Chains A and B, each alone.
Chain A
Amino acid sequence: MEKPLSVYFFGTCLIDMVLPQAGLAAMRLLRREGIEVIYPQGQTCCGQPAYNSGYDAEARTVARCQLDAFSRDIPVVVPSASCAGMMKVQYPKLFAGTPDQERAEALARRVVELTDFLARVLDWRPVDRGAPLKVVLHQSCSARREMGVADAAKDLLARLAHLETVEPDHAHECCGFGGTFAVKQPEISAAMAADKADAILATGAQVLVSQDAGCLLNLGGTLERRCPDAAAQPSPRPAVKHIAELLWERTHDS
């Protein structure tokens, strides 16, 4: 993929409602690179929650809405590997054998996860204006596996000169979010989140970043409970940020 003139931005429902500053940061980053960013006001949710719960018909109806909202032949940048995976990998399966199959396949081809877009398509080389900072990177399972874009997030952070980036122990393991899994299997999910949160705390990093808001919600919420005192010693609780927020914060003129 070459650097496009314009892109669609799919904010994802979670970022839309809970972490809009992450979506906005990502859109500003793209705009600053001279790309026209279109945010279709008709977008809603990718449909993954219902899909992963086995409610395929409901998922399909909602997914169709995104086929309508992102119909032009330009890339769709998604600030979440999980939602990107839903659109890129699962939509063609969800719509296989339906009249929308072709549209779904076309959209799937145009979907790019944000960090992958920045690192690979734009080959973005930012100037780090921030102070030295230790960051712990949590990669979502979709980034690692379904989308295979884990290298991109790592790459981007490495390009910021004043960052020290570490990964938690058992980095490859799921944080326990899994969408509705966290609600359907609360105890197992909590056990997974607790282990991940402890591993994150043990790194002593000041900021936790990820390319997925779902993981951040899960881990941020768990960290807050496990470590109510944010300044606790010896391992103070890290601030929790979407990777787009961190990238924007450290690279724009204020």
Chain B
Amino acid sequence: MIPEFPVRVSQALGNERVRRNIRRTMDGLVLKRHKAFPDEHELAVLRRRGKLIRGHALAHLPDLLEELERNCQRNGIQVHWAETAAEGNALVRDILRRHGADLVIKGKSMVSEEMGLNHYLEAQGIRAVETDLGEFILQLGDERPSHIIAPAIHKDRVEIAQRFAAHFPEYPYTEDIEGLTAIARRIMREHFGRAIAGLSGVNFAVAETGTLCLVENEGNGRLCTTAPQVHIAVCGIEKVIARLDQLPPLLTLLTRSATGQPITTYVNMISGPRREGELDGPREVHLVLLDNGRSRIHGDPQLSSTLRCIRCGACMNHCPVYSRLGGHAYGTVYPGPIGGVLEPQLQGLDRLGELADASSLCGACGEVCPVRIPLPALLRRLRAEGVRGRQGSRVVGQGSRRKPLHRLIWTLWRWVNAYPSLYRGLTGLGTRLRWLMPKHLGPWTRTRSAPALAPRSLHELARSEGFRGE
């Protein structure tokens, strides 16, 4: 059982080491992004473009998905549809079984995390080996990613060195990054040589050409998608875009927002299995398109903007809450502001509605999002649906976060503030009786001194200084 959110928050805030690691990396990523967009005007233009391209794709989603399927099939890619994570898992298993694969090498894929694919396959007797360095480190400790693009940022070099030493005693102990990478590379290479199947995610799927685009920095993605006989790509249905010429602006937004890179070291454009006469490449390419709640989100005109997300992670990097908690405290696959918006929609407000409260609504996420998702507005809307519900909304768990006490407080608040004479009477009384005010005001005064009520309210002062009161 994962402990409740407030418990996880306490644990996260109490872990100095993790906090330091995360903060350091977040500060670094924020700075890199900042430097990558030196021209504010260009950034504004690009973000508008990004929003339009993704918005256009979502507006034509069913048609584009059909076009994608047709063009993929024409390219020799086998297309499969999964409505749920369970269906997706079963599809992947069947493909692997058909080829007698007991091992699959994996490039980084958040959708496979969402499906819980690794554990599912393991229970089916198939070993899934992560080959992204961060994911590889986490898999050794059966940990979940704490960030969507930098999964192991909560770990520092020394922790990684110790973990390697425990798992690979045959290699000499090192804390040197090059040395650690070399060990990982050597171990992975054995898997690359042996595996007959590789699995990857997809950053963008181009409908017009039936091309799957995948960006990465380590080359492991290229190996997973080209070295084995079979390549399986898992992809959320929202990742489709209409045309190939829409890719460059999205890619530059993605990489610059994510890591500040003008482009990643590897940009893989996958357009089918090995053709006649070609010397390498997989014999089979499969595309598994996963819905898993996305079409429900898509049906809501405002919430569907959630699906514009290109998973750059910038909203997390800039979030003052995420940068103090790290991803694990959220207890979900997608953490941070996008997690607070997406996860309650995927899993219901009754289960995860509290994540929408884990924001001061400071607006930092909305300000940096490369596709201009109005994250603060969506968080606020989900709060409202949690406490009251909204007619016609398809988000599960409407009104499930209603608490009678809160309801009462806000009703009283409304009474006081909706009747100016009552308000003036009470504030006047409050300032006069301010010595009665408690020194302890619940959570507020745990770390702060209590605010003192003024001897006279501004209403009174304004009157006595002769300001017209209308």
Q: Report A's interface with B, CB cutoff 8 A.
A: 9, 11, 13, 15-21, 23-24, 27-28, 31, 36-45, 47, 49-58, 61-62, 64-65, 69, 93, 141-142, 144-146, 172-174, 176-179, 181-194, 217-218, 220-222, 224-225
Contact = CB atoms under 8 A, between A and B. Distances in A.
Q: Which of A174, A178, A192, A217 has the most CB of B within 10 A?
A: A174
Contacts of B364: 141, 145, 172-174
A186 B360 CA distance: 11
Contact of B458 (A16, A57, A144, A181): A16
Contacts of A17: 427, 430-431, 453-454, 457
B363 interface: yes
Mostly helix, strand, loop or mixed at chain A's interface?
helix
A53 B380 CA distance: 7
Contact of B462 (A27, A45, A53): A27
B388 to A, nearest CB: 7
A226 to B, nearest CB: 8
B436 interface: no
B459 A16 contact: yes
Contact of B446 (A176, A184, A185, A186): A186
B13 A47 contact: no
A41 B428 CA distance: 13
Interface string B407-425: 0001101101111100110
Given A41-B420, A61-B418, A52 B427 contact: no
Interface string B12-42: 0100000000000000000000000000000
B247 interface: no
Q: Which of B358, B361, B417, B454 has the most CB of A within 10 A?
A: B417
Interface stretch (B101-109, B249-257, B290-298, B319-327): B319-327
A186 B417 contact: no
A50 B416 CA distance: 13
A20 B456 contact: yes
Q: Which of B362, B377, B383 has the most CB of A within 10 A?
A: B362
A193 B311 CA distance: 29
B439 to A, nearest CB: 12
Contacts of A144: 363
Given A27-B467, A39-B468, A42-B470, A181 B360 contact: yes
A185 B325 CA distance: 12
Q: Which of A21, A23, A141, A188 has the most CB of B within 10 A?
A: A188
Nearest to A30: B467
A145 B367 contact: yes
A23 B133 CA distance: 56
A173 B458 CA distance: 30
A41 B459 contact: yes
11 contacts: A17-B454, A21-B454, A23-B462, A42-B470, A52-B380, A54-B382, A65-B418, A141-B363, A141-B364, A192-B320, A221-B444
A145 B362 CA distance: 8
Contacts of B470: 38, 40-42, 69
B463 A41 contact: yes
Nearest to B5: A185
A40 B469 contact: yes
Contacts of A31: 467
B356 to A, nearest CB: 8
Contact of A188 (B325, B416, B418, B457): B325
Contacts of A61: 414, 418
Contacts of B463: 41
Nearest to A186: B443
Nearest to B19: A191
A24 B357 contact: no
A173 B320 CA distance: 7
The 7 closest A-B pairs by CB, nearest first: A178-B360, A221-B448, A186-B443, A54-B383, A174-B362, A54-B384, A41-B469
Nearest to A8: B470
Nearest to B383: A54
Contacts of A184: 357
B139 interface: no
B308 to A, nearest CB: 20
Given A38-B467, A62-B417, A19 B454 contact: yes
Contacts of A93: 377
Contacts of A173: 320, 362, 364
